[in-house]
Every structure is written in C-alpha cells, then in structure tokens.
Amino acid sequence: MEDDDRVILMGEDIGPLGGVFRITEHLHRDFGPQRVLDTPLAESGIVGTAIGLALGGYRPVCEIQFDGFVFPAFDQITTQLAKLTSRLDGKVPFPVVIRIPYGGHIGAVEHHQESPEAYFTHTPGIRVVSPSTPNDAYWMIQDAIRSNDPIVFLEPKSRYWQKGEVSFEAPALPLHASRVAREGTDVTLVGHGAMVTTLLQAATLAEAEGTSCEVVDLRSLSPIDYDPILDSVRSTGRMVYAQEAPASRAWAVRSRRP
C-alpha cells in the first residue's frame, strides 16, 4: 500500500476494528478510510464494486470475513470476474485479490470453518493460492496484489497465530511454485495451507517408527506446479494427499438414516 496508492482494501469490519482476525489492524489509521473501506454486509456488492474499481485502474483487495460467506459473491467471482479477461481479449487487467480465511481447527460452527477451494480451482480464469508459513504469507500476498489476474487468496485461519521466521530479502519462490518442505525416501505427503504443518508433524511421528516421509507444499492450487510432486513420487513410489475440504456428501446422507 505504501508502494502503490492504487491498492485499496475492502471488507466487513476491516477498518477501525482491524478485521475479525485483526489482519488489517492499524491500516485504517495509517492509510485512511478512502483506502481501507468498511463495507456493508454484502459480499456480492464487495466483489462487484472491486470489479468496477479494477476497470478504473485500481488494485482492490477484498476480504471475505469467513469462508462460508463467500457464496453470496460466488456469481460475481465465477461468472463475472473470472470471465472478463477473456471476454475483453486480455486488453484490460483485473488485478482483484479476494482474501478468504478458510478451514477448521478453531472450534467454530458451520459457516465459519469451511474449505471452498474446489469451487474456485475448477473455475477457469481464477488463480488460487494458499500459504502455509508466515514467510510465504508475507511474500505471496504481495505477489498476488501485484498480479494482473484475479486471485483467490486462501488464508488458513488456524495458522493466523503461527510464529515463524520471515526473510525480508527477495522471495525464494514464484507465487505459483510448489516446494519440498521436508525431504524423505519412503512416501510423499502432499497438502496445502494448514495441512502442511499437520503433515510435517505426521512425518516426525512416522520417522520415530522408521518411515521417512517427504512433504510437498502445493502453495498454489490453480495453477498447480506438478514437477516437485512428480519428482518426489518417482523417488518414493507412494503418495498421500491430505486436505480439509469435503470429499463427498456421503456422511450427510448417512446421518439422516434411522
């Protein structure tokens, strides 16, 4: 925001309050209400306004307060924002970042701990990323804001308070690159966001039992950098993928049976 006065933050309670998770704390004070906008409770309006701002040359960053409340904006994201670059033959950039706290592990109720990433990764025209470390969070949000493409930036809410070293040198990896978070020889564990920490913990436990696990952090869900995954699986011969998102609705159907 200091480097580019076209960057505008928009969202519910992100101003003086600093957001539900205090991620935008003090930015309203530092940059003022014209650049850190407290919006009405209308996610469709937030994203729709951001599209108009992008057309006007701004770089809006939208915060969706909780993952389960992104769906009122789903039409704006998937049928408008995702399609406009193609519709206008790439002549107009749409540098809109949509920040979504997502995932579980915080003891919240249904609309406050969902993992809707699959909806967006299956939508052409939208890039989807999710950091797993403080260092990646620091650099990836800056790269996302600088991008001229729409990006859904998924923030694992259970890791908001995770501490870690941040390098203030140039980022080690491009925005859409996967990385090997831990080397191993017996099995490849793949995940993204909060699950990377869980997989690293699992790898430590497995090592005590004689199994060497290699952990690959996707970082980007769309596009996916497959090379580190394929290289790892060629070496280990086995792969396990772990995620928080639901795999099916079978549990819901079963729960209704007598």
Catalytically annotated residues = 112
Q: What's the rounded Cα separation, in Å, for the pair 227 and 108?
A: 36
Q: What's the rounded Cα separation, in Å, for the pair 202 and 249?
A: 27
When computed from its CA atoms, the radius of gyration of the chain, rounded to whole angstroms, is 19
136 closest CA partner among 104, 177, 97:
177
- Phi then psi for 82, rounded to 5 degrees? -65, -25
Q: What's the rounded Cα separation, in Å, for the pair 105 and 87?
A: 40
Angle value at C-alpha 212, between 219 and 180, nearest 5 degrees: 20
Count how many Cα atoms sit within 13 Å of the Cα of residue 226 in the half-sphere of its side chain. Answer: 3
Tokens of 246: 């639901």
